[in-house]
Amino acid sequence: MKPSNLLLVVLATSTIATAETPAEGPFWQLGDPHLNKVPRTVEETTRIAAVTAITSDFSAPHQFEDKPGGAATVRAMTNANAFSQPSGNITFEDQLDFRVGNGLFRKLWVSSPASTLASDGLGPLFNARSCQRCHIKDGRGHPPENSDDNATSMFLRVSIPGPADAAIAEIKDYIATLPDPNYGAQMQEFAVQGHASEYRLDITYDEEIVTLVDGTQVSLRHPTYNAADLGYGPLHPDAMLSPRVAPQMIGLGLLEAIPAADILANADPDDLNDDGISGRPNVVWSVEYDQPMLGRFGLKAGSPTIMEQSAAAFAGDIGISSPLFPAGSGECTAAQTQCQDAIHGDGDDRGTEIDAEGMELVTFYSRNLAVPARRGADDPEVLRGKEVFYNTGCTSCHTPSFVTHRLEDQPEQSFQLIWPYTDMLLHDMGPALADNRPEARATGQEWRTPPLWGIGLTEQVSGHTYFLHDGRARSLLEAVLWHGGEAQTQRDAVTEMTTTDRDALIRFLESL
């Protein structure tokens, strides 16, 4: 079926919960200020509720399930470019903007002063010289393989406890933190010539053997992180470090277009339905809109929009200023005087090192990285694995489907039935996965449910099968066995499964 015809069918037959009904609470008058949306009709809301209802029929794939990105879905390529395609329903004219944005995403920035004024401003402290160096082939990063591995996509976030900010006092359960006075909010492993880098990341692993009921033994590696060779004095004694690897980039525009109210409808912070799952939304202060917004992006849902997430990455990862984060010194602190006093790439015709037009193009590119089509959705083993996934209760967090807002100016993301398998909420994953570093409303044990679409193509795109926030899991089965906290029951169910059911479950995940 052609994408245009698919969209017409979805428009005629799809829907989700109560997208125009605000959630309760004093700070929930959030709406979706980042979207130019058309309100849903009652009829649309009814259709959406029907098409996104959790299925109990596993005899065949759900209608349109093989197109997880709706009409924006693209053919699944068989090489490493599978995550680098534009939305399947993008116009020919807009493909030019997509490719220019791709050029900016891949651009290697250079230090100032330089003759290449459009590309100068790197650092002085940085983790990568381009967006693509972390999101390799638009896929997920990985921890260092060995002490000489510089092709990694891992860094440490850092913060210390701090007093509440009056501007965000209305956000219930907000956990106030401050950047480390010497190292800021993120540690940078590299520096331009003449400057010292902030640290070197050391990781050691201890192996734990888990024996499943069928006798299968799985080794889980417990990481220990150390910020070694500190270049700017000691860390604050209360510093909290959080290791992160870059997540995959596909489907971001579709996730951004899910109505906030549909996400909030799945929240159950007090576990009122007594199922052991207590999903909570993260609410963050938006620099872009100067108001509280629903957090959507980042491993703890710490950013509300693709634009803000991208601008923060430019500042923290590459040391590049933008209209949202205009400091030419990037993420350098006041204590890092040499960095503050260095020659930066701002002040020319661009104003900032990447200007508003450049940010719009990078955002457009990031918004339109397409989700590949499912592979083998009708395979009997995949269908059995889907039944196991649903009946085990995995959909309590990994919500299968949503319908996006109808949008005035984003036709690629407008009113699409999508299958991301995430509720976009925070969940307590237990002490074993805790980074013990809060972020806005997220506690040190909470993480946002990651989308599962495209997860089966990780090895093809990224050349590895490392999962979770820090890449500790070396396979999908290891990732499942790391689940704890709210997902402990589901994790234990997997350890008790027959070999046939467990293999089918993994086969289902690999088909996503």
Amino acid at 262: D
User: How many Å apart are CA 361 and CA 248, to the nearest integer?
Assistant: 19
The tens-digit pLDDT sequence of the chain (512 residues) is: 323 333 222 222 233 333 333 344 444 556 799 999 999 999 999 999 999 999 899 999 999 999 999 999 999 999 999 999 999 999 999 999 999 999 999 999 999 999 888 899 999 999 999 999 999 999 999 988 865 665 568 999 999 998 866 667 677 788 889 999 999 999 999 999 999 999 999 999 999 999 999 999 999 999 999 999 999 999 999 999 999 999 999 999 999 999 999 999 999 999 898 889 999 999 999 999 999 999 999 999 999 999 999 999 999 999 999 999 999 999 999 999 999 999 998 887 788 999 999 999 999 999 999 999 999 999 999 999 999 999 999 999 999 999 999 999 999 999 999 999 999 999 999 999 999 999 999 999 999 999 999 999 999 999 999 999 999 999 999 999 999 999 999 999 999 999 999 999 999 999 99
Q: Are 264 and 281 in contact (CB under 8 A)?
A: yes
pLDDT in the model for residue 144: 85
Distance, CA of 144 to chain centre: 20
Per-residue CA distances from 157 to 177, 180, 239, 334, 377 (Å): 12, 10, 10, 18, 38
Would you tell me how many other CB atoms lie within 10 Å of the CB of residue 44?
20
What is the distance, to the nearest Å, from the Cα of residue 156 to the centroid of all Cα atoms in its chain? 16
Residue 430, number of CB atoms within 10 A of its CB? 16
Strand ranges (DSSP E) for 304-423? 402-403, 406-407, 417-418
Tokens 């059995």 belong to residue: 384
Which one, of 385, 403, 402, lies nearest residue 394 by Cα? Answer: 385
Using CA of residue 131, residue 136, residue 139, residue 143, what is the dihedral sign? Answer: negative
Q: b/e map of 175-200 (b: 16 or more CB within 10 Å)?
A: bebebbebbbbbbbbbbbeebebbbe
- Cα–Cα dist 486/490, whole Å: 9
Measured between alpha carbons, how far is residue 311 from residues 235, 354, 363, 498 in Å? Answer: 26, 9, 9, 47
- Return the residue matching tokens 């100032």: 112
109: helix, strand or coil: coil
Predicted local confidence at residue 172, as pLDDT? 79
**Tokens linked to 285:** 């202060």
pLDDT value of residue 24: 42
Tokens 């790391």 identify what position? Answer: 482
Boundaries of every domain in the chain: 3-56+63-511
pLDDT on residue 11: 27
Question: Comparing C-alpha atoms, which of 482, 39, 487 is closest to residue 218?
Answer: 482
And the tokens for 387?
């039944």
Please state, in angstroms and rounded to a whole number, the distance separating the CA atoms of residues 341 and 406.
47
Question: Pick from 64, 61, 66, 1: which is nearest to 374 by CA?
Answer: 66
- Residue environment code for 3-41, b if the CB has 16+ CB neighbours within 10 A, otherwise e: beebbeebbeebbbbbbbeebeeeebebbbbbbebeebe
β pairing state of 190-191 and 200-211: unpaired
Residue with tokens 């709406």: 31
